[in-house]
Amino acid sequence: MPMSKAASARVARRIATAAAYGGGGLSLLGGAAVGLLFTEAQLAKRRIGGSEDEPPKADGVYGAAFAGQHRGRAVRLGFLGDSTAAGQGVHLPRQTPGALLASALAAVAERPVELRNVALPGAQSDDLERQVTLLLGEHDLDLAPDVCVVIIGANDVTHRMPPSRAVRLLSDAVARLRTAGCEVVVGTCPDLGSIEPVGQPLRWVARRLSRQLAAAQTIAVVEEGARTVSLGDLLGPEFAAHPRELFGPDNYHPSAEGYATAAMAILPTLCASLGLWPTEDERPDAARRESILPVARAAAEAVAEGGTEVAGVRGPWALLKHRRRRRLPPAEEVEAAPEQAL
């Protein structure tokens, strides 16, 4: 039986609190279920297949044609996280989420965008410290990214990392980036119950665990001054309605169309974090079911619908947004120059 949003909010707050204070968190999976779930997991793994291909390298400068139109330097965009952040499952650099968002951000800002992606397939949240260090290095903080996108959490669930530890590691990474002056947008743990080959009861358990982690991630990230976008069932009803088109050949990672759908959902929040979105859109619109809520309640609301943004406003309150999506520009309109990497 699904948990109510109020109950989900309480669980998420307990996980986030345990993460903040170093507690053990919650035991979310009873030992009696382990045998059955292990059998289901093995069956799902055979049906899913998995991809061993290296994600295409997409680092470089996007929107170089805008260089002569703007006196300011290029916008620096960092990408961190797991295989979804890296773009595993597609074959062309321009199909990865980093390239898609760099191209779109360049078109909106009318400025070049320098992309550096340090995401690692298979990464759990304990790899974020290494990735943040790669991005920031030992350079002057003036060279830090202007904005970073983090997508993490799926492997924390599948490898049974304690949720409080996963949240603490993410929170620490976000805090380091914020201290370096970066705006941060986190795509929270996707709903693993949406993966088509996964059967019951594993599907129900995977959905519950991934949503609880996503809500706790949201609370911790917002409290560090960053924003989240719920990846939900891999970003909205499009995936549920068209799984054959939006999942890749391994039935686990998104296809090129799936990554484009994800990028369209993240783009408005990415632009808003840099002040590139209309200011009137920052106010809650009741017609779009937007409101200011306690952060834990906003987190629980967000995980139920992919593409939902949560941003802190003041104290324990957060803004719940369903931003209007903007179509991505055709790839040929905003060319990349990979040789001009960060």
Residues annotated catalytic, as ranges: 83, 250, 253
Q: 274, 106 in Cβ contact below 8 A?
A: no
Q: 87, 96 in Cβ contact below 8 A?
A: yes
Which phi and psi angles does 60 have, rounded to 5°?
155, -170
Q: Using the 8-state DSSP alphabet, how is residue 221 labeled?
A: H
Q: 63, 107 in Cβ contact below 8 A?
A: yes
Strand partners, 150: 80, 186
Question: What angle in degrees, to the nearest 10, is found between the helix axes of 34-48 and 202-223?
Answer: 90
**What element of type H or E holds 154?**
helix 154-158
- State yes or no: cis peptide before 201, omega within 30 of 0: yes
Nearest to 12 by CA among 294, 311, 307, 320: 294
- Roughly how many angstroms between the first and final C-alpha of the chain, as a whole number? 49
Determine the 3-state secondary structure of 114 from DSSP.
strand
